[in-house]
Amino acid sequence: MHLINLLAILVPTCVLYRLKKRFTQLPLPPQPKGLPLVGHTFSTPSTNEWITFHEWSKELGTNILYLNVTGQSMIVLSSAKVAIDLLEKRSSIYSSRPYFPFHVDLMGAGFNTVLLNYGETWRRHRRLQHAFFGSSASSNYRTKIARTVHSLLGRLIEDSKDFKAQVQLFAGDTLISLCYGLDIATREGRRYHEVFLEGDKALLESAISGSFLVDFLPFLKYIPEWMPGAGFQTKARLWRGVIQEMIKLPFNATKENMETGNCPPCFVCTSLGSTGQKLQGPDLEDNVLSAAGSLFSAGVETTVSIICSCILGLLERPEVLQRAHEELDRVVQPGQLPDFNDQPSLPFVTAIAKESLRWRNVAPLGVAHYIEVEDEYEGYRIPKKSVVMVNQWALLHDEEIYPDPFAFKPERFMNGDVYNHETKDPEFACWGFGRRICPGRYLAFDAIWLTIASLIHAFNIEKEIDENGTPIEPNPSYETGAVYGPESFPCRIKSRSGDFAKLVQAAIVQHAENSD
C-alpha cells in the first residue's frame, strides 16, 4: 500500500520534471539583439512600437517575436495563423491580462472588463454584455443609433468647425443612451457626458506605454504620496475620484428611473431586470455597474478615431466621396436619409466603412494577453508570465492581403459595382482574438456604417481653404496610447443642399415625437 502511494506521488512528479526540462531546453522565439540584463528595454520605442516590431519580425523572418523589456517577457505575434493558434485554439491559457498596479490598485480602474483577469468576474461581465450586444441582440437597438446619428448631422449643419468634438459628442450620446437610457440633450444628460469624457481622458492618458514606473516595479505602489518622486500617487488619487464618478453617476440615475418606471430599454435596465437575474446572483448590481462603465470607456474614442480617419481618407481621395454620393443618390429614396434597410444596396459605402477599420486601425497592438503557464509553439518556448500581443497593424497592412496597404482604397473591397467578399474582411483582426474579442463589435459596426453613410449622403466633405484660397492639406498627428487616432485637423463639412438640411431636421423631430 505504501508502495502504491509512493508511486502515485513519484510518477506525476517525474512527468512534470520531464516536461519542465523539455520546455527549458527549447529555444525562445527569435529576438533582436539586446543588452545583457536589460534585454530590449532601451531598443524598444515608446511610440509606434508596432512598426519597429514589424521590422524586427521581417528581419528575423518570424511571425512570433520574443522581447525582454525590464525583465518582462513579451511575445509579439505577426500573423493571423499564429494569433488564432494561440489566442483562440488555446484560449483557456491565453485569455488573461497583464497586471497593471497603477490602474488596478491605485487608480481604481480594475472594474474595467478589458483589464479584468480571466476568471469568474470577467465571465459574468461577458455574459451580461453578450446578452445585450451579441449578434442576435444588437439589431434591436438600431433605432437608438439612428437617433444619435441624426442628432450628429443636425449639430454639424449648425456648426462643423470642430467636427471632431461633434463626433465625440455623438459617440458619447450613443453609448449613454444604449448603456443607461439617458439623453445628453438634457442638462443632466450633458453632465453625464462631461463626466464620462473626464474619466475616459484619464483612462487614455494612463494607458500610454511606459507612463508609470510602478507598472514595472509594483512595490512602488506602497510609497506615500508625500515622498519626492511620488507624483504618480497624486495623479492616481485624482483620477480615481473622476473614474468613480464616471461609473456611478449615470448608473444611479438609471436606477432612479427604473424605480419610477421611466427607464427606456438599455443595458443597465435590462441587466438589472429579469435577463440579468437569470445570468448571475447576488453581486449582480456591482457587475452591471462595472460592465456598463467598461462599455462606455471602450467605445467612445475608438468610434471617434474610426470616423475621423474616414473623413481624412475622403479628403485625400475626393473621387471616393463622389462615387459614394452617386451610389447613395441612386439607392436612397428621395426625401429619405440612409437606413439599415439600404445596407445591402450600398456596397461601396460598406467598402468605405471596412477600409476605415483597416487603414488607420485604432488599436495597432490590440490589448495585451497574458499567459501564466509555460507553453510551446512550433518548437519555441513561450515562457510563463509572458505578455502576448498581436501586431494588428502588421496584419491589416500586409501587402499580400492588401496591396498598397498604406493608401485609403475602399475599392479594394469592390469587384466592379459588387462588394468583393474575396478580399479579407479587416474584422478578422481589428476586434481582437479569442475569448477577449470585443463584445460590442456588431453594434459598433452598425454605428460606424450608418454614421459614414449619413455623413456622405448629407454633406460635401472638402479641404479647408486658407486666406489665399489655397486648399490646406490635412496632416494630423496621431495620438498614441490606448487608442490610435488623429488629432483635430482642418476640414469643411457643408450640407449638399437645403433639402438635406430639412431632411435632417425632420428626422430629429420625428425621433423626438416617437420618444414622447
Indicate the annotated binding residues for heme.
Answer: 438
Q: How many CA atoms lie within 13 A of 155 on its CB side?
A: 18
| Radius of gyration of the chain, Cα coordinates, nearest whole angstrom | 25
Which residues 6+ apart lie within 8 Å of 497 measured at CB?
none
Tell which residue, 385, 394, 400, 387, has the closest CA to residue 363: 394
User: Within the chain, what is the greatest distance between any pair of CA atoms?
Assistant: 97
How many helices (H) and strands (E) the chain has is answered by 18, 12
Classify residue 244 as left (phi > 0), alpha (psi -120 to 50) or beta.
alpha
The helix (run of H) or strand (run of E) holding residue 239 is helix 231-259
Cell numbers given for 400? 499580400
Binding-site residues from annotation: 438
Whole-number Å distance between alpha carbons of 256 and 263: 9
Q: Do the Cβ atoms of 452 and 498 come closer than 8 Å?
A: no
Instruction: Give the 3-state secondary structure of residue 374.
Output: coil
Instruction: Give the 3-state secondary structure of residue 246.
Output: helix
Q: Do the Cβ atoms of 74 and 66 come closer than 8 Å?
A: yes
